[in-house]
Amino acid sequence: MSTQLAVSAERATAALAAAAGSPWALQPDDAAARSGTPWSTGSVQHFTQDREIYGEGDHAKLFYKVVSGVVRTCKFLSDGRRQIDSFHVAGEFFGLELGQEYSLSAEAVSDCTIIAYRRQGLESLAANDGALSSMLLSHAMRSLARAQEHSLLLGRRSAVEKVASFLIEWAEHSPDRDVATLAMTRHDIADYLGLTIETVSRTLSQLERDGLIDLPTSRQIRLKDLDALRELNA
């Protein structure tokens, strides 16, 4: 279940700007100066683990920012096979759509807190606000680059390479640079990498036997030999 409460301190503009580290990005200061636009405030929502936030095809009237926890966006085939497109951590946006419907589903990987913004009017606003549309474009282009990188992984990398790549990617999200603290299950990892649970598990065990990683707990992975892991990524 999700609880909602109004929050006025949150301005999506500033948040979007902070997330955009590119020539297209707006300076946070400029953004902070803009206020009172229809979509500048959002409502805080909580979702418990594995709760659906929205489904593919739902009417896309809201977009979201993660405050805490992790969210996955994914697609399903009719027989239930799932492909996870990405994991979203604190500060990241998801659910921004061009059309009327979400093109992915979104679910809570862990218990999480997110802020929902009305998409209403964002299009027309963007048409008259260069800074805002730069931020949106920047966001879209970075997502696109990520998706293309992910396609290379799914189409052309072996199981070890996929897992190594995932570990390196995830370790960068962690406080410690060489310890990946996982919020997700083996099932999530498998569906992100286009593998099965068993293959992910076996591959991690193998990497541990080979001395590239340590597995103190199933959700804590220490990257012992970062160079060797990166080598698998070449």
The residues of the shown chain that bind its own copies, judged by CB under 8 A, are 22-24, 75, 77-79, 81-83, 85, 97-99, 103-104, 123, 126-131, 133-134, 136-138, 140-145, 147-152, 154-157, 191, 193-194, 234
**Torsions phi, psi of 156, nearest 5?**
-130, 0
The answer to the question of residue 215 lying near DNA (CB under 7 A) is yes
Site membership for DNA, residue 204 (CB under 7 A): yes
Question: Minimum distance from CB of 203 to DNA (Å)?
Answer: 7
Q: What's the sign of the alpha-carbon dihedral 65, 127, 41, 104?
A: negative
**From its own copies, DNA, none, which one binds at residue 6 (CB under 5 to 8 Å depending on kind)?**
none
Q: Which one-letter amino acid corresponds to residue 179? A: V
What are residue 116's phi and psi, to 5 degrees? -100, 135
Asked whether position 196 contacts DNA by CB under 7 A, the answer is: yes
CB within 8 A of 40, min separation 6: which ones? 11, 12, 13, 34
Select from its own copies, DNA, none the partner in contact with residue 160, using the beta carbon and a kind-dependent cut-off of 5 to 8 Å: DNA
Tell me how far the alpha carbon of residue 156 is from its chain's centroid.
Answer: 22
Residue 160 binds to DNA (criterion: CB under 7 A): yes
Q: What's the number of CA atoms in the CB half-sphere (13 Å) around residue 128?
A: 5
How far apart are the C-alpha atoms of 221 and 178, rounded to whole Å?
8
Residue span binding DNA (CB under 7 A) among the ranges 84-92, 94-102, 165-173, 192-200? 192-200
When the beta carbons of 125 and 160 are compared against DNA, the nearer one is: 160
Residues making contact with DNA (CB under 7 A): 158-160, 185-187, 194-202, 204-205, 215, 218-219
